[in-house]
Amino acid sequence: MSNEVSMSISVKEASDLSDQGNIDRRKPDYLDQLEAEAIYIMREVAGQFERPALLFSGGKDSITLVRLAQKAFAPGKIPFPLVHIDTGHNFVEATDYRDMLAEKTGSKLIVRYVEDTIKAKNLKEPTGKNASRNWLQTFTLLDTIEEFGFDACIGGARRDEEKARAKERIFSFRDEFGQWDPKRQRPELWNLFNGRIHKGENVRVFPISNWTELDVWAYLQREGITLPSIYFAHERECILRDGRLLYNTPVIEKDPEDQIVTRQVRFRTVGDMTCTAAVESSAATLEEVIAEITVSRISERGETRIDDQQTEAAMEDRKKGGYF
Amino acid sequence: MDLLRFITAGSVDDGKSTLIGRLLFDTKNILADQMEAIERASKSRNDGEIDLALLTDGLRSEREQGITIDVAYKYFQTPNRKFISIDAPGHIQYTRNMVTGASNADLAIILVDARHGVAEQTRRHSLIASMLGIPHVVVAINKMDLVGNSEDAFLEIAQTYKDLANKLNIKDLTIIPVSALNGDNIVERSKHMPWYTGETLLSVLENVNVLEDKNTTDGRFSVQYVIRPQTDELHDYRGYAGRLQSGSLKKGEAVKVLPSGTESKIARIEFGGQEIEEATVFESVTILLEDDIDISRGDMIVSVDNSPVVSQDLEALICWMDDRKTLKPGDKYLLQHGTARTKCSVRSIEYQIDINTYEKLDEVEKLKLNDVARIVLRTAQPVAYDAYQQNRANGAAILIDETSNVTVGACMIE
Ligand SMILES: Nc1nc2c(ncn2[C@@H]2O[C@H](COP(=O)(O)OP(=O)(O)OP(=O)(O)O)[C@@H](O)[C@H]2O)c(=O)[nH]1
Ligand SMILES: [Mg+2]
């Protein structure tokens, strides 16, 4: 977002309407519209599928999804389990938060480990600098879908994140091998989502497709949601590598060029530790985080994700292979 | 702040993707790393000039071929409004992707290459925009730099377009001469076309009134899901989860459940578990009724004194989207309307619409990919619909092929 643009983040800006003269004063805020759309999509999943699941990573997007699901089905419980594909290289703050949230919402939590897939399938673990298990999650994910017979998996991907995601449908059809075919996506008209599939196929559903990163932050703030502490500035020992700050954890293989530094940082996204970089920051509250991101000239993935930078079509290729 | 969804449409290579790139660039909505990525990708291509179309053409095959295949969604904002921009492909083969993007748009920007004028795809996309009831259409006559920024060239194409638009149902039409490549009349007024005194494209986008496009009169609520917690405290709770497709519904209001016709009263409306007094168009809420009646997904709750048509016979304009099979009288499909699905069969094809002249073609035996026609359907269960042009949300339906499960038709009920 540009410097000139100031985000409106207050609960409902009555002031926003004051200079509109004779225009309808009930004009809803865009966050209300995005929220209503996402809740509608959640309910379509519950209404159309027999065994849906919500893919939960512990990051802010999936925390948003859980909030939306709570609102969609209140006063009932969320009618599907939370599923986490754990690389074993997650931030402990995120996994603790995951356990706490599952308990608080009374949801069933299913965790499957990439480690187990590596053993069972005798996969070769990537090694060396910038090695990550992130891509291996696909195998575990597809196995988990098969194990439980999930016909729909709700994910927190947003179209503003990445250029291949910008092309994806809200109900994104996957064949029996979990593959996305970007050249043959189903038409998706109005709000009439077609979730019909054959056995073995599944649909990935993205209720916050139309949200931007700032919308997510603004929503979390509006809803008064407490986030895992790593989203706020804290002192952390980091590896400084190629201008990026990675958490200094044993799961990241060191390189002679690496420098170990202690910095005040926060995370803008929370994924696998091996491919998520921190940003230097002093923002201690959601308000301050939003202020920083509003003036930031670097995109979320550009600043924090190492896995996208490898080739021009890294995300597209991963998705074709069955990734989230 | 409110939200405007708009789509770019028009023929192949008329500059749709470049226009979106330019809009984002000139409103400073392209971030530094995204710009670097575009520069990097541009360098590896033939002339090395920065190609703003690469912002939306994100698929490998799109970049290889230099065309758009599927719609891309980009998000940006100005101090006045938030925008969801939808970049559609111009190529005829991908028309169904354009329809996908256009179905939810508040505004369509139809591009025309100033050198070539109105093309067949311009006509096709204009017809689709009109059928889909997109309330605002902006025609951007692009590449003005390649016709010497000539006012005459502009006026001639503008006149041709106006003649075409007269045959369509376009409520609000604006025509602007632009150069997407150079940014003329996109965000900044062009220095090269002093003869043009109208609005810039961004100014139109920021100022169209989208509020009055919404149907706020007909209370329609499709039930998506029944919430029944069945816990001790909420033993008898039975809430109908859904979204107001149009109009509004209030606590205490007398309502009718369709298609059964059973009447009741709204006991309570909830949003996120909190009680509210009234729900209005596009809100996702939960409705509780005073009487214990049998309601399930697919039923519709409507105001008692304002009812849609309930019928098993319907006529609709259709865009046919299947590249593998044709549509013929006698064929059977699933019709999805709101949250209801019912089998249906095609009674007849009344006429097809000629894409170039918009004339009605009689005695058409079957519809092929991208054909536009009016058909008659008979459904297994009654459907509670409004005419699409009065009520977009409750007049829209899709046809699903029962064997492939693919969405094959976009229907606008008349
Ligand atoms: N001279 C000039 N060239 C332009 C202008 N706008 C676009 N172009 C060029 O026209 C070509 C096609 O532009 P695109 O934006 O890819 O066209 P498109 O309409 O998105 O094409 P499809 O999506 O494949 O239908 C590119 O080479 C652009 O650089 C303009 O205003 N002036
Ligand atoms: Mg294009």
ipTM of the complex: 0.95
Going by the DSSP 8-state scheme, the letter that residue B269 receives in this structure is E
- Does the CB atom of residue B16 touch ligand 1 within 6 A? yes
Q: Note if the bond before A75 is cis, omega within 30 degrees.
A: yes
CB nearest B41 (choices: A182, A302, A312): A312
Q: Tell me how close the Cα of A49 comes to any Cα of chain B, in angstroms.
A: 11
Which chain B residue shows the shortest CA-CA distance from A299?
Answer: B31
C-beta atoms of A163 and B33 within 8 A? no
- Using an 8 Å CB-CB cutoff, list chain A residues near B99: 187, 189
C-beta atoms of A44 and B405 within 8 A? no
- Using an 8 Å CB-CB cutoff, list chain B residues near A75: 227, 229, 234, 237, 239, 270, 273
- Please tell me the distance from the alpha carbon of residue B43 to that of residue A196, in angstroms, as a whole number: 43
The bridge status of strand B372-385 relative to strand B340-353 is antiparallel
B130: tokens are: 């009109």
CB nearest A39 (choices: B1, B104, B284): B284
Lowest mean pLDDT among A61-65, A134-138, B71-75, B275-279: A134-138
- Does the CB atom of residue B50 touch ligand 1 within 6 A? no
CB nearest B33 (choices: A4, A36, A302): A302
Give nearest CA residue, ligand 1 atom 4. Answer: B181
C-beta atoms of B225 and A313 within 8 A? no
pLDDT at position A15 is: 29
- Cα-based distances in Å from A106 to A58, A76, A100, A101, B94: 16, 10, 10, 8, 45
Q: What is the pTM of this model?
A: 0.92
- Does the CB atom of residue B130 touch ligand 1 within 6 A? no
- Cα-based distances in Å from B401 to B157, B215, B320, B322, B404: 41, 30, 12, 9, 6
Element housing B107 (H / E): strand B107-113
- Three-state SS across A223-291? CCCCCCHHHCCEEEEEEEECCEEEECCCCCCCCCCCEEEEEEEEECCCCCHHHECEEECCCCCHHHHHH
Q: Which of B225, B283, B343 to mutate to test the interface with A (most CBs of A within 10 A)?
A: B225
B70 CA distance to ligand 2 middle (Å): 9
Residue whose CB lies within 8 A of the most ligand 1 atoms, among B7, B13, B16, B179, for a mutation test: B13
pLDDT at position B13 is: 94
B236 interface with A at CB cutoff 8 Å:
no
- Which pLDDT band, with edges at 50, 70 and 90, does A180 fall under? very high
B22 interface with A at CB cutoff 8 Å:
no
Higher pLDDT: B201 or B64? It is B201
Interval A7-30 mean pLDDT:
39
B12-64 per-position pLDDT tens digit: 999 999 999 999 999 998 888 888 888 888 887 767 688 888 888 888 888 88
Give nearest CA residue, ligand 1 atom 9. Answer: B15
B284 interface with A at CB cutoff 8 Å:
yes
Coarse DSSP helix, strand, coil percentages of chain B, rounded to the nearest 5 percent: 20, 40, 40
Burial B279-305 (b: 16+ CB within 10 A, else e): bbbbbbbbbbbeeeeebebbbbbbbee
A4 pLDDT above the threshold of 50 = no
Which chain B residue shows the shortest CA-CA distance from A201?
Answer: B405
Other Cβ atoms within 10 Å of B99 Cβ, number: 26
Mean pLDDT score of chain B, rounded to an integer? Answer: 94
A127-140 per-position pLDDT tens digit: 777 777 777 888 88
Other Cβ atoms within 10 Å of B226 Cβ, number: 18
Contacts for B332 with CB less than 8 Å, ≥ 6 apart: B343, B344, B345, B346, B402
C-beta atoms of B79 and A5 within 8 A? yes
- Please tell me the distance from the alpha carbon of residue A265 to that of residue A279, in angstroms, as a whole number: 5
C-beta atoms of B284 and A72 within 8 A? yes
Q: Look at residues B69, B84, B114, B64 and name the one whose alpha carbon lies nearest to residue B23.
A: B84
Q: Which ligand is nearest to the CA of B148?
A: 1
Give nearest CA residue, ligand 1 atom 2. Answer: B143
pLDDT at position A23 is: 36
pLDDT at position A31 is: 94
A194-245 per-position pLDDT tens digit: 999 999 999 999 999 999 999 999 999 999 999 999 999 888 888 888 888 8
B133-146 per-position pLDDT tens digit: 999 999 999 999 99
Mean pLDDT score of chain A, rounded to an integer? Answer: 84
- Which pLDDT band, with edges at 50, 70 and 90, does A310 fall under? low
- Does the CB atom of residue B85 touch ligand 1 within 6 A? no
- Which pLDDT band, with edges at 50, 70 and 90, does A314 fall under? confident
- Using an 8 Å CB-CB cutoff, list chain B residues near A5: 77-79
pLDDT at position A46 is: 98
